[in-house]
Amino acid sequence: MSHLKPRILKPDQEEVAPQTEPVKTYRVRGIPYFQVLNNVGQPVVEPPDWAQRKNPLVALYKVMLKTRLFDQKSVALQRRGQLGTYASSLGQEAIGAAIGCSMQTDDVLFPAYREYAAQFSRGVSMTEILLYWGGNEQGMNFQHQDKDFPICVPIASHIPHAAGTAYAMKYRGQRRVAVCVFGDGATSKGDFYEALNAAGSMELPLVFVINNNQWAISFSRKHQSKALTLAHKSVAAGIPGEQVDGNDVIALRQRIGLALENARDGRGPTLIEALTYRLCDHTTADNADRYRDSEEVKNQWVNDPLVRLRKHMQILGLWSDQEEKDLNSRYLAEVEQSTRAYLQTPPQPVSSMFDYLYERLPDALNEQRNAAMDQGHQNG
C-alpha cells in the first residue's frame, strides 16, 4: 500500500497548488502531503491498485452519500424541534468513510462528533445516532458494534482513552489498533499532547486522525497555532506525521490503511492531518456567518468530496446517472425509515439521568432525582 508518492518540500521551500485547486499557497518543512485526485476527479498520481476497481470505489461513495443524506435530514429534524443540537459532517464525509472502510472488525474507533460515515461503516445505525442527538443516550448502546466508543463531545478528552486502550492491546499481544479522530481545535489541548507523547514513547498501536476543517468553532486554524502544519506536532513525540487531502477519499483510505498496517505490525503510531473544510455551521446551535466570510465557504464547495469521487468514477465509466438516481432513492428511503423508528421510540424517563452513574445514589442527588420525578409527574 506504500507506493503512493508524497510531495515532500525541502526546508523553506514553498509550493503553489495547481490552478485547478482553489487553495492557498502553503509551506511545509519535511512533512509529506498525499493526494491522488484533484477536485475535478482527475488523478495527479497513479491511483493504488485497489482504487482502479469499481467495488472499493463504490463502497466508499455509498457511505459518503448515505452520510450526506442522513445529515440533511438531521438538520431538518433539528430545525423542526424534533432533534437536539446536531453536529453536521457536511464536506467532511471522506474522512469518516476512509476510516470506516480501512479498519478491521476488532479494531476500536474513538470518534468525536462528525464521524458518522465511519460509524455507519462499522455497524452503527442511523436511528442510534438520531437517538443520541435527540437526548437519549441509549443511542450510544450500539446493538451491532460492541467495541467502539461512543461519540465524544468534550474536546480532546477521548484521546487519552484511545492511548489507554492501545496500551491494553499491546500489553495483551493483540493485533488490533485504536483509531482516534478529533478536530484541529483538539490539538491545542493538553489531552492531545499527553496522549501523543504516551503513544510515541510506548510505541502504541494507535492512529491519530486530525479532521482539520480549518475552524475550531469560531476560531480559525491560522489563529490557534503557529505550527506550520498540525502534522508537525508529531515530531516532538517521535512518531510519523503527514498531511493528506481530506477531500480525497482514495488518498485517505490509502494512507490510513498503511498507518493501520504499521500499527498492527508493531511499528507504532501515526499522526494523519486530513485537510478539509467545514461547509456547515459548527453545530445547529451556531451561526458561522458571524465570524466567517460567506464567499470563503462558497469557494470551498468546489472541493466537495462526493462530487470529486463521483466525477472520477464517471470518467472511468464506473458510475452512471441511473446508478446515482437509484442509490439516492434507496438511501432516502432508509433515512426516512430510520427517522420513523427514532420518532416512535418512547422517551427515557427523567430518572434515567440519575440511574447509571453510582451504585448507590448520594443523598444530594437522590433529592434532585425525586424533585425531577415530581416535576415530571406534574407536567405529565
Catalytic residue set: 278, 282, 291
Q: Find residue 210's DSSP bridge partners.
A: 182, 273
d(CA 356, CA 17): 52
d(CA 320, CA 211): 31
Q: Find residue 33's DSSP bridge partners.
A: 7, 243
Maximum CA extent, the chain: 70
d(CA 55, CA 123): 19
- Write out the three cell numbers for 52: 482502479
Identity of the amino acid at 285: A
3-state SS, 302-348, equals HHCHHHHHHHHHHHCCCCCHHHHHHHHHHHHHHHHHHHHHHHCCCCC
d(CA 118, CA 149): 12
